[in-house]
Amino acid sequence: MRAIHVREYGGPEVMTWTEFPDPVPGAGEVGVRLGVAGVNFMDTGARKMPLPTWSVPTVLGVEGMGIVTAQGPDVEGLAVGDRVAWRYHKGSYAEQLAIPADTVVRVPDDIDDETAAAILMQGLTANHFVTETYAVKAGDTAVVHSAAGGVGLLLTQLVKARGGTVIGLVSREDKVPVAEKAGADHVLVSAGGGFEGRVLELTGGEGAQVVYDGGGAATFHSSQRALRRHGVHAYYGVVNGNPTFRPAELPNSILLSYPSVADHVPTREALARRTNELFDHIRRGRLTPHIGGRYALADAAQAHRDIESRRTSGKLLLVP
């Protein structure tokens, strides 16, 4: 089988289409033939720099869906031929995988392959943001960074499903209609900081209840100034740089969170329950992933170039 391999940190040019032995599932694992892999911005970080749980050499990718082709000992509840999806398995840019069975979920017949591959990582992230990080309620205002991106589009839809108002931030004028189509009530073009004044205007000087900030160091302080008293700054932009700050600098008694989706689905039961919530939103028409591009798995480097250019919107997918 072949996979996208990285031997050293660098640009997309370090990604190579490399042949490996077919993986053999061990105890508690299932063998899976990849159907579709999802591209996440964190994948570019794993390619460029050391991350807490990543180092080179490595096979990139964490998310996807596929067909169970084999299973090792001690696997229950799955069978060869099942369609399954996963939100985090390192090395998912590969034609064949051996994945711990307790990290995959069975994909219902009424959820298509691309939707299943597009919804797990970013959908569970968005679900975490609007339920446990800050439980959005009717009348709340949420600022959504990168509102035309994969997380942003899903997050916008989930905030609206809970009765909230969305102020979306996008990096380019041509992304405004994409965010509006997802339900954003207001869309501001902002590639960095400096947006807080407009947010305050839109909220009558009060500020937002929550800011979902994936912008990194460049947006960190503006996000905090856009919040009302005791607002929540959900900061998840570490791939784009970490700011320096002192706790005493936090304005308006705000709460700062670094939400990790792993804390949203810490058990197999939680993973199944939260994933079923997403599938139910899809069935009810409340949540629709926007597929922003499809690439051959062998052309993953081009997907990385495109997502880093900020020219894309929605979810990028890789197909073997």
- Kindly report, residue by residue over 65-77, the tens digit of the pLDDT: 999 999 999 999 9
Backbone φ, ψ for residue 153 (5° rounding): -65, -40
pLDDT of residue 15: 98
pLDDT of residue 191: 83
Confidence band of 314 (pLDDT split at 50, 70, 90): confident
Residue 80 pLDDT > 90, yes or no?
yes
For the chain, which residues make up each domain, given as ranges? 2-107+290-319, 122-262
Residue 60 pLDDT > 80, yes or no?
yes
Q: What top-level class would CATH report for the domain 2-107+290-319?
A: alpha beta
pLDDT of residue 101: 97
Residue 240 pLDDT > 70, yes or no?
no
pTM: 0.92
- The yes-or-no answer to whether 2-107+290-319 and 122-262 have a common fold is no
Residue 113 pLDDT > 90, yes or no?
yes
Residue 4 pLDDT > 80, yes or no?
yes
pLDDT of residue 107: 98
Confidence band of 52 (pLDDT split at 50, 70, 90): confident
**How many other C-beta atoms lie within 10 A of the C-beta of residue 285?**
9
For residues 175 and 184, is the Cβ–Cβ distance under 8 A?
A: no
Residue 303 pLDDT > 70, yes or no?
yes
Please name the residues in contact with 315: beta carbons below 8 A apart, sequence gap of 6 or more: 38, 39, 118, 122, 150, 289, 290, 291, 292
- CA dist 219 and 233 (Å) reads 11
Q: What is the rounded average pLDDT for all residues in the chain?
A: 95
Query: Of all residues in the chain, what percent carry a pLDDT higher than 70?
Result: 99
Architecture of domain 122-262: 3-Layer(aba) Sandwich (3.40)
**Backbone CA torsion sign across 155, 263, 238, 43:** negative
Cis omega (within 30 of 0) for bond into 57: yes
Query: In this structure, are strands 96-100 and 29-39 parallel, antiparallel, or unpaired?
Result: antiparallel
For residues 69 and 13, is the Cβ–Cβ distance under 8 A?
A: no
- Kindly report, residue by residue over 163-222, the tens digit of the pLDDT: 999 999 999 999 999 999 999 999 999 988 999 999 999 999 999 999 999 988 899 999
Q: Which two tokens stand for residue 291?
A: 């597929």
- CA dist 147 and 176 (Å) reads 9
Confidence band of 115 (pLDDT split at 50, 70, 90): very high
**Backbone CA torsion sign across 170, 187, 210, 271:** negative
Please name the residues in contact with 35: beta carbons below 8 A apart, sequence gap of 6 or more: 64, 65, 66, 67, 83, 113, 117, 319, 320
Confidence band of 242 (pLDDT split at 50, 70, 90): confident
Least trusted range by pLDDT, from 28-32, 41-45, 99-103, 228-232: 41-45
pLDDT of residue 129: 98
